[in-house]
């Protein structure tokens, strides 16, 4: 009898730790620093470095694993990602890979052939639970924020009211189902500043725009507000985005809804301001990373 968790412990974790240790060493960390970041002994780091730990090539060559190791390695080395955040993101990936038919489920079936005929998923921890769903949203949002923090010149796109990158759960109904940055993202002397980790229920304005767009038929699950500039709007249009204008009135949700109904394919919303109202552009996307990538492409 072998559980999928044993595949995780025996195959996945040694592989990912070895990859992360190598990535951190490439970033210039010493063995002791790598050991501290990963919460393992220096002797373990030495074994990883000398190839004394067997890794699973199928896991190591999986594009999702490679991308996460690359992202976490850079973030941990720079101090942009804490070990706890890294742990959560690895945990989210594990649960995704445990889904029926995915990599860890396949390895589990191969280790226990009788399971292949059982016809059920092997998700001891349901990846569709509210907790797992929230973890995935926050994980995506943190990656999106790191893209913006590392994008040279993003600070100049931040409006006076501040920007906020938000993302929501698949069945989001109100602002409590939308995660964002408490206090918003600000330009501090030309430096993009994210004051704290993302949380649910902390964004009202950008969250309202996102929810209204979703309510009227878009598949957007993330959004960001940036400073209005006709040249930026033109660049977004040239890149294939459909733009739609809305009036920034007392009822933002209704105004956004009307704009979406008129232009259902819109992925960029904007309003040109008014008395006491700053003009803004809102970029929508399927996840926080894609929204951040869209904004980065403007720089």
Instruction: Provide the 3-class DSSP secondary structure of residue 189.
Output: coil
For tokens 């739609």, what's the residue?
Answer: 244
Task: For residues 105 and 100, give the distance between their C-alpha atoms in angstroms, rounded to a whole number.
Answer: 6
Task: Say whether 256 sits in a helix, a strand or coil.
Answer: helix
Prediction pTM value: 0.67
Per residue in 244-278, pLDDT (tens digit) is: 999 876 688 999 999 999 999 999 999 998 777 89
| pLDDT level of residue 116 (50, 70, 90 thresholds) | low
Residue 296 pLDDT class (50, 70, 90 cuts): very high
Q: How far apart are CA 226 and CA 156, in angstroms?
A: 9
Q: How far is CA 275 from CA 132, 147, 204, 209, 272, in A?
A: 43, 33, 21, 20, 11
In this structure, the number of other CB atoms found within 10 A of the CB of residue 112 comes to 17
CA distance 55 to 44: 14
∠ CA 24-297-221, rounded to 5°: 85
Highest mean pLDDT (candidates 37-51, 125-139, 178-192): 178-192
Domains, the chain, ordered by start: 4-115 (no CATH), 130-297 (3.40.225.10)
294 forms beta bridges with none
| Residue 170 burial by Cβ neighbours in a 10 Å radius (0-12, 13-18, 19+) | exposed
Q: Grade residue 123 by pLDDT with cuts at 50, 70 and 90.
A: very low
Q: In sequence order, what are the beta bridge partners of 225? A: 282
Quick check: 281 pLDDT over 60?
A: yes
pLDDT of amino acid 120: 45
Residue 79, CB-side half-sphere exposure with 13 Å CA sphere = 1
Give the span between the Cα atoms of 64 and 236, in whole angstroms.
Answer: 28
Least confident of 72-76, 130-134, 196-200, 255-259: 130-134
């Amino acid at each position: 009898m072998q559980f999928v968790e044993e595949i995780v412990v025996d195959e996945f974790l040694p592989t990912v730790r070895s990859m992360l240790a190598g990535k951190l060493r490439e970033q210039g960390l010493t063995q002791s620093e790598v050991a501290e970041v990963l919460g393992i002994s220096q002797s373990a780091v030495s074994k990883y470095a000398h190839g004394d730990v067997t890794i699973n090539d199928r896991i190591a060559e999986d594009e999702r694993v490679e991308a996460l190791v690359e992202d976490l390695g850079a973030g941990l080395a720079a101090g942009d990602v804490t070990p706890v955040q890294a742990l959560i993101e690895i945990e989210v990936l594990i649960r995704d890979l445990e889904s029926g038919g995915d990599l860890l489920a396949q390895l589990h079936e191969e280790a226990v052939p009788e399971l292949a005929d059982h016809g059920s998923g092997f998700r001891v921890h349901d990846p569709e639970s509210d907790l797992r769903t929230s973890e995935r949203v926050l994980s995506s949002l943190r990656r999106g924020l790191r893209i913006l923090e590392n994008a040279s010149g993003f600070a100049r796109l931040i409006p006076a009211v501040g920007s906020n990158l938000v993302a929501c759960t698949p069945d989001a109904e109100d602002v409590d189902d939308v995660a964002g940055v408490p206090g918003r993202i600000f330009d501090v002397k030309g430096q993009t500043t994210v004051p704290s980790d993302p949380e649910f229920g902390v964004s009202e304005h950008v969250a309202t725009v996102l929810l209204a767009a979703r309510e009227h038929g878009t598949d957007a699950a993330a959004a960001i507000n940036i400073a209005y500039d006709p040249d930026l709007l033109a660049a977004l249009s040239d890149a294939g985005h459909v733009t739609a204008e809305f009036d920034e009135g007392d009822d933002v949700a209704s105004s956004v809804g009307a704009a979406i109904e008129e232009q259902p394919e819109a992925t960029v919303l904007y309003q040109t301001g008014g008395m006491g109202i700053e003009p803004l552009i809102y970029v929508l996307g399927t996840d926080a990373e894609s929204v951040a990538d869209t904004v980065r492409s403007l720089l």
